[in-house]
Amino acid sequence: MPLEIVTIPCLSDNYAYLAHDAASGETALVDAPEAGPILAELAAGGWKLSHVLLTHHHWDHVDALPEILAAHPAQVIGAAADAHRLPPLDREVTEGDRFEIGGEPVEVIDVSGHTVGHLAFYLPQSKAVFTADSLMALGCGRLFEGTAEQMWNSLSKIAALPDDTTVCSGHEYTQSNARFALTIDPGNEALKTRAAEIDAARANGKPTVPSLLGLEKATNPFLRAADPAIQAHLGMAGESPVNVFAEIRGRKDRF
């Protein structure tokens, strides 16, 4: 059976996630932005944490961990490359490592770019990938530490997963991402439809995260740097996808 995944809004625009296995009772938390909403969700389900998976070191993904662990001692898992600036880890992992939650394998993917050492966690049986600030709904994270080439390679790893994979990303940035995406890919009818749906969802106070990978591949300009229509629109026909991605990321930084 796939794990039950719960999306938890935190802070002003963050998301954390719980992944729960009913049979074993094991429950994993992905990132720790804010203790109150996470502890409330655990209490509502009558769940106890068994694992905490940290994607990267930024404060809005780790700062609530001490308060959460005080109530729910759990195994903390994060990147070996980032161990020096993450909270204390019980298990350090690198790309290609696997562990289990409730008997389901979790695959570790290095998605450096936003930070160096950023991880994503892929659950193939539950058809979910936790991407935090690498691939986002209609966007990707700023390149605070890594290069455009690193981020393009990271996004390409995620894009290679099955289209029916649920992308559990770290922030509610989708509406502004959609406005930007339309400047890059103005002829994309699927994008226009999605942008209208996003506006309606946000007007009603509904989240736009998580999303489906197939939809991201059809509408997210950061995954579409090899698309001839986007390249032509940017005056970059025939350029390498890495260079086109770097141009798109630069435009988003200035948007």
The binding site consists of 56, 58, 60-61, 114, 133, 171
**Pairwise CA distance, residues 151 & 113, whole Å:** 4
In the DSSP assignment, the letter for residue 164 is: T
**Cβ neighbours of residue 83 under 8 Å, at least 6 residues apart?**
89, 92
**Binding site as annotated, residues for Zn(2+):** 56, 58, 60-61, 114, 133, 171
Residues facing residue 106 across a β-bridge: 99
Q: CB neighbours (10 Å) of residue 138?
A: 30
Q: Which of 73, 64, 62, 74 is nearest to 101 (CA)?
A: 74
C-alpha span between 27 and 68 (Å, rounded): 13
251: Cβ contacts below 8 Å, ≥ 6 apart: 180, 183, 184
Backbone angles phi, psi at 127, to 5 degrees: 55, 50
Distance separating alpha carbons of residues 75 and 54, to the nearest angstrom: 11
Alpha carbon distance 245, 42 (integer Å):
39
Residues 6 or more apart from 128 whose CB is under 8 A from it?
3, 5, 19, 122, 165, 166, 168, 210
On the question of a cis peptide bond just before residue 2, with omega within 30 degrees of 0, the verdict is no
Distance CA 9, CA 15 (A): 5
